[in-house]
Structure 1
């Protein structure tokens, strides 16, 4: 029987944030392309965003009653042991019923119990770690799984070296040819041709500190002769939408055509989540990272530092924005050579075939 026509079963788990969900969906889409008859099941955490996003992408999902341990002493931690027992019990039932050929985890609460159970049953397992500093779930699973696909160097500090494959993070395929879309992008956003464009990103929900920065420095940015595409996020749109009345400033709750936004941009200010960093490497525009200090293990600072160490971006700590922003950003806008250098260097770090390479590793596990 042709391997491609054989009906394989794949179980995927990842969630809690878009950074864990979207890679899992990208991997599932690539599997479906290679094995159209395959069965794919997702497992997520009940009440988290994967329970909505995965069905929207066309896949079935089952939910586990699981959450993370709070880092501070809190009453929520009292329920954690019960949730863990419940989710391990239900993960066992799901695995027994579905009988997957391979289990794939992309981080987040639910992937812990699911891959723990799958590995204990001898099912080949692969995890994908998006960040330069792994989360606790993937650190614990690394001893049990067969392969670990990563996006950064030097992760043998946390994972068994012989299991690591550097693939990069899955990204949207429509970003691969943005240089050809600049003209369409300028029309789409109704921008002034020939005027430099600053794209401001704070993630789908928004980033308060970045929004406050743009509000505070709006007059200054206009003295630099920039037009601004400002994605302020769902949580902050009502507060900042009034600035959309300012000349050469447009405020968006969410940007659907991200390929056009990237194509139009000459400069980008962004958080440093793993998905954003991987996209920005492919996009190759001069970027200022403002890492979120509120994430586990301060991983955004570590993600951004890995890029900055290659002289491929600028980083300003959130607490230093008031003091450093005008100086650092102003110097960047004034220095064409620096812009070119950052742009060329960040492109060198792009891993454009990540999704294909990860699924290539999954295929090897099918023959295990």
Structure 2
């Protein structure tokens, strides 16, 4: 096997949401640490957030003209065959010129055509499935991929059993080894130490329902002497930026420095996408999950329940928010014992070695 300076070429594809992008970046960072001379190329959907986030992380990216099939009848679906053919041609040209040693897919529209072409060209392929219920792209690729790294048990029901390896989800290294204290983080964010800090996360694209919930309860939150870090999503920022004028409220379209935000938080309200859940297990703060009901097979509810069933988080369904939110949140805020119990229990579920284990599997494909 090559030394730490091997001139390997790795092609990675995954996108559409942060849940597909950040695992790919985490895997690339670990590969770069091991192979300092390696070359990397990301492939994403040309109109999605990966086109901004990947270059920000220091990697080159090529865009495909691709989008997913809409679940309901839509004119957009008529374009899908043309986009797919275009993306397959483009992927062929990218693979031919880049000549990767290994192809890595983390889900999302663009990884389908790219990995399909890579596999057809005899390039070893690894896919990483973040959720307890696999996405359509990874299901289609599974038969031909060499290795499938998963984060939940029981995925042999969907994938060839002999290819499945349970690794957990790769998370950003700065989060896995975050030594920043709450005091340092609150100082950095100019927050006061005498108040609780509530961090609100609606997923990388923002959540309309969570944003509405926070807006409806701003006076309730203010009465509780809470400082609010509110990631509302760039799509919704124009609707909510006005609340930055309120004392103790910081509304942001997106939080780039999650390390500091997590360290400052005393309580977190979050969606329960797979990567968010994996990060929050490592962070070890009290969490109130509000799953999105608008995802395939309702997997966010399954993710949240899996944690709540171990007394490691609280979860409320969107349909129950109006009746239960204030009581549940007040109880969490006022009970130090409950917060400690949730923190201790969620930490026990953390898998900090996932990125390393996935890259170990990629190394085997290089031999």
The TM-score bracket by the shorter chain reads over 0.9
User: Taking structure 1 as reference, are residues 253 and 93 closer, same or farther at Cα in structure 2, changes over 3 Å only?
Assistant: closer
**Alignment-derived partner of residue 311 in structure 2:** 311
**Is residue 312–residue 343 contact of structure 1 (8 Å, CA) maintained in 2?**
yes
The C-alpha deviation readout for 1:91-142, integer Å capped at 9, x for no partner, is 2333233322111101111111121222223221100111121110001111
**Alignment-derived partner of residue 104 in structure 1:** 104
Deviation, 1:282, is 0.7
**Is residue 243–residue 251 contact of structure 2 (8 Å, CA) maintained in 1?**
yes
User: Taking structure 1 as reference, are residues 99 and 242 closer, same or farther at Cα in structure 2, changes over 3 Å only?
Assistant: closer
Write out aligned runs for 1:243-322 (5 A).
243-322=243-322
Residue correspondences, number: 367
Unaligned runs of 5+ residues in structure 1 are none
SS in 2 for 1:251: strand
**Is residue 180–residue 260 contact of structure 2 (8 Å, CA) maintained in 1?**
no
**Alignment-derived partner of residue 181 in structure 2:** 181
User: Taking structure 1 as reference, are residues 108 and 205 closer, same or farther at Cα in structure 2, changes over 3 Å only?
Assistant: closer
The C-alpha deviation readout for 1:121-166, integer Å capped at 9, x for no partner, is 3221100111121110001111111111112222222112221222
Q: What value does the CA root-mean-square deviation take over the aligned residues? A: 2.1
Match status 1:358 vs 2:352: no
Deviation, 1:325, is 0.6
Write out aligned runs for 1:54-93 (5 A).
54-93=54-93
* TM value normalised by structure 1: 0.92
Match status 1:132 vs 2:145: no
User: Taking structure 1 as reference, are residues 317 and 98 closer, same or farther at Cα in structure 2, changes over 3 Å only?
Assistant: same
**Is residue 332–residue 338 contact of structure 1 (8 Å, CA) maintained in 2?**
yes
1:49 and 1:10 map into 2 onto residues whose CA distance is: 21
User: Taking structure 1 as reference, are residues 116 and 332 closer, same or farther at Cα in structure 2, changes over 3 Å only?
Assistant: same
2:27 and 2:178 map into 1 onto residues whose CA distance is: 22
User: Taking structure 1 as reference, are residues 82 and 2 closer, same or farther at Cα in structure 2, changes over 3 Å only?
Assistant: closer
**Is residue 23–residue 172 contact of structure 2 (8 Å, CA) maintained in 1?**
no
**Alignment-derived partner of residue 4 in structure 2:** 4
2:7 and 2:103 map into 1 onto residues whose CA distance is: 15
User: Taking structure 1 as reference, are residues 83 and 359 closer, same or farther at Cα in structure 2, changes over 3 Å only?
Assistant: same
Match status 1:207 vs 2:207: yes
2:228 and 2:52 map into 1 onto residues whose CA distance is: 32
User: Taking structure 1 as reference, are residues 177 and 58 closer, same or farther at Cα in structure 2, changes over 3 Å only?
Assistant: closer
**Is residue 45–residue 63 contact of structure 1 (8 Å, CA) maintained in 2?**
yes
Q: Which moved further from structure 2: 261-270 or 79-88?
A: 79-88
Deviation, 1:305, is 2.0
Q: Which moved further from structure 2: 184-193 or 273-282?
A: 184-193
Unaligned runs of 5+ residues in structure 2 are none
2:74 and 2:278 map into 1 onto residues whose CA distance is: 35
User: Taking structure 1 as reference, are residues 287 and 91 closer, same or farther at Cα in structure 2, changes over 3 Å only?
Assistant: same
**Alignment-derived partner of residue 116 in structure 1:** 116
1:226 and 1:326 map into 2 onto residues whose CA distance is: 14
**Is residue 178–residue 262 contact of structure 1 (8 Å, CA) maintained in 2?**
no
Deviation, 1:238, is 3.3
Deviation, 1:353, is 1.9
1:213 and 1:98 map into 2 onto residues whose CA distance is: 47
Q: Which moved further from structure 2: 284-293 or 69-78?
A: 69-78
SS in 2 for 1:109: coil
Match status 1:343 vs 2:340: no
**Is residue 26–residue 173 contact of structure 2 (8 Å, CA) maintained in 1?**
no
